[in-house]
Structure 1
Amino acid sequence: MKFPSHINLPREARAELVELLNTCLATSIDLHWQVKQAHWNIRGRDFISRHELFDEVADHVRKQADAFAERAGALGGYAQGTIRLATKNSELEEYDLSAVNGDDHIRVLVERVATYAATIREGIQRAGDLDDPVTEDLFTQTLAQVEQDLWFLESHLYGSAAGSRTEVAPSSILEERTPDA
């Protein structure tokens, strides 16, 4: 721990929470710039709606990064938020630079945002285990926005509710769904 904190949690718990917050900080910084990569380079059908959606998602993630950094500082930690640290400590894969059309960007972003959501969901559990309701609440509120953004992104992949589709978690297929006959 770098700084004094009078938050009533054991030092070891605060150190673990700061590490977790720094992982989320790194991942959110990386995600912000990956979403901006898509925003700057999207082409094709539905350009303007997707261009604007990407900008909105990037803004949400930027604000989330700030909240993670500030909570780490409140716990007596040191926020590790440089670009180099973010790329080193992010949970995300590098952006697929072959993505150009809208659907390609959406697929890449859905995978990245789903990974980010899973990281935050793990944070909720861990903060609860460490008896820190404030950090747990920060993660819970963040996850609500992330999952809404994920829904908005995913909604661009499906032309109609009647179509066959596959649900995909980060890097793994969960189940195949088919419409009722």
Structure 2
Amino acid sequence: MAKGNKSDKAEKTGKTNLHPTKNPISENIRGAMVELLQVHLATAVDITYQTKQAHWNVKGMNFIAVHKLFDELHELTEGYVDTIAERLTAIGGQAHGTVQAAVENSILEPYPLDLVKSEDHLKRLTDSYAAWSAAVEKGIEEASEAGDPLTEDLLTAVGRGLDKSIYFMESHFQS
């Protein structure tokens, strides 16, 4: 649970505060989906800047190709940040999209700051994308079980994009 983001009562009960909305999903489902989406928002912010970290610091014989790939992946993940935050707020949540919130709520391991070689960046980013992809699959199941097809669909689209990104990165070091 993020520090200072919820009232004392919500903090103690684990209940998410929701903004009033005419969204037809029940308050209980919306609360559960907001909590689910907060984790994915934090992870999306984290992976966006892990990817940018790799983009800024990559070196090697295939520099320009990998540098451009990381920039394209960064733009793609930035889109996930916006899409997730907008869904979260559409169902009455308050998006926690700051770097500090990402640090507290991301499922990813911190990205090493000393990587240089393109293959090292590719492998490490692939690990992060794969970890998030696995979490997205669980989120899809959770949204389905909760009866929120729109959140399920959003996460399915994110998962498809993550799988494609993993394929693009792995193709550099698979034989």
Fold conserved between structures, TM > 0.5: yes
Partner of 1:42: 58
Cα distance in 2 for residues equivalent to 1:70 and 1:98: 34
Distance 1:91 1:111 in 2: 12
User: Is the aligned partner of 1:53 residue 2:53?
Assistant: no
Match for residue 83 of structure 2 among 56, 67, 84: 67
Quote the sequence identity (%).
Answer: 40
Q: Which consecutive residues of structure 2, in runs of 5 or more, have no partner in the other structure?
A: 1-16
1:4 aligns with 2:20: yes
1:96 Cα deviation from its structure 2 partner: 1.4
Indicate if the aligned counterparts of 2:73 and 2:165 stay in contact, CA closer than 8 A.
Answer: yes
Aligned residue runs from structure 1 range 11-50, under 5 A: 11-50=27-66
Question: Structure 2: which amino acid aligns with 1:115?
Answer: A
1:157 aligns with 2:173: yes
Deviations 1:99-133 (Å, cap 9, x if unpaired)? 11011101110000001111111111000001011
Q: Does 1:136 align with 2:136?
A: no
TM-score w.r.t. length of structure 1: 0.85
Moved over 6 A (4+): none
Question: 1:97, CA displacement in angstroms?
Answer: 2.0
Instruction: Tell me the number of residue pairs that the alignment of Structure 1 and Structure 2 aligns.
Output: 159
Between the aligned partners of 1:34 and 1:100, the Cα distance in structure 2 is 13
TM-score by length of 2: 0.88
Structure 1 residue 114 corresponds to structure 2 residue 130:
yes
Aligned residue type for 2:160: A
Which structure has more helix as a fraction of its residues?
2
Q: Which runs of 5+ in 1 are unaligned?
A: 161-181
- Higher normalized strand content (fraction of residues): 1
Greater Cα shift, 1-10 or 73-82: 1-10
Q: C-alpha root-mean-square deviation of aligned residues, in Å?
A: 0.9
Contact persistence 2:18–2:31 (CA under 8 A):
no
2:101 pairs with 1:81: no
